[in-house]
């Protein structure tokens, strides 16, 4: 827990997130063939809530779930710019349809690094979905194929996203305001 006191102001409600996920899954379903299995890859830890809701919206599809753990922030509010892979996928993705699920794209280093890694394994289709995008903070040229919400340069928490490992269990997205 941070030593500096802060409050969390709600930015995106749980209801708005659910509605947006429904819209995005409609697009995903039209982009990936209905008769082929989709490997949905969650980037731990931040995407664990998002992927849980997303795969349940894809319940009429043949879906396999896998996880990869990447970390670059630790307990800080600034990216270390060094992306560490702490856990690799369990399954093979060569020749398969893959959707990578991320909670937030900020500087872009994490997803950019992960996509280079996964592209080298030669999947048939490889797309990315990010619930949140902060384009004003980008340091590498990266854009997810599906984006839930574009947000301003605020440090956000909730719905899987942490500040110093706290607040991942909030059902909404909120911004951190120091008091
Ligand atoms: O675009 P970037 O600047 O790279 O930032 C985005 C990444 O940072 C956070 O992960 P973090 O490293 O904090 O690990 P976590 O997912 O375990 O919280 C977030 O979950 C994204 O994965
Ligand atoms: O706004 C954020 N909040 C929490 N973790 C993050 N990692 C990148 N950006 C953020
Ligand atoms: Mg993360």
The per-residue pLDDT string of the chain (179 residues; one tens digit each, 9 = 90 and over) reads 557 899 999 999 999 999 999 999 999 999 999 999 999 999 999 999 999 999 999 999 999 999 999 988 878 888 888 999 999 999 999 999 999 999 999 999 999 999 999 999 999 999 999 999 999 999 999 999 999 999 999 999 999 999 999 999 999 999 999 99
Domain CATH number, residue 114: 3.40.50.2020
Residue 97 inside a domain? The answer is yes
User: Is 153 one of the annotated active-site residues of the chain?
Assistant: no
Which domain does 58 fall in, by range? 16-26+47-154
pLDDT reported for residue 74: 79
Our answer on whether the CB atom of 112 is closer than 6 Å to any ligand 1 atom is no
% of the chain surpassing 90 pLDDT: 91
How many angstroms is it from 26 CA to the middle of ligand 2? 27
How far, in Å, CA of 4 to CA of 6, rounded?
7
**What pTM does this model have?**
0.97
Give ipTM to 2 decimals: 0.98
How far, in Å, CA of 11 to CA of 149, rounded?
11
How far, in Å, CA of 147 to CA of 114, rounded?
17
Region label for 160, one of left (φ > 0), alpha (ψ between -120 and 50) or beta (otherwise): left
Residue 175 inside a domain? The answer is no
Q: Where are the alpha helices (DSSP H) in 58-144?
A: 109-119
Tally of domains in the chain: 1
How many angstroms is it from 102 CA to the middle of ligand 3? 7
Our answer on whether the CB atom of 42 is closer than 6 Å to any ligand 1 atom is no
């Amino acid at each position: 827990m941070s030593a500096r006191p802060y409050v969390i102001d709600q930015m995106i409600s749980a209801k708005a997130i659910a509605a947006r996920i429904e819209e995005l899954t409609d697009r995903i379903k039209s982009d990936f063939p209905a008769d082929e299995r989709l490997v949905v890859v969650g980037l731990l830890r931040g995407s664990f809530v998002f992927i849980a809701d997303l795969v349940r919206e894809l319940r009429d599809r043949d879906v396999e779930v896998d996880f990869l753990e990447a970390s670059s922030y630790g307990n800080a509010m600034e990216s270390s710019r060094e992306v560490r892979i702490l856990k690799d996928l369990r399954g093979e993705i060569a020749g398969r349809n893959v959707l990578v699920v991320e909670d937030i794209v900020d500087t872009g280093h994490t997803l950019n690094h992960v996509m280079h890694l996964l592209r080298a394994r030669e999947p048939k289709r490889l797309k990315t979905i990010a619930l949140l995008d902060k384009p004003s903070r980008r340091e590498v040229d990266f854009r997810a194929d599906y984006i839930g919400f574009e947000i301003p340069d605020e440090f956000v928490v909730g719905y899987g996203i942490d500040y110093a490992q706290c607040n991942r269990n909030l059902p909404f997205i909120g911004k951190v305001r120091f008091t």
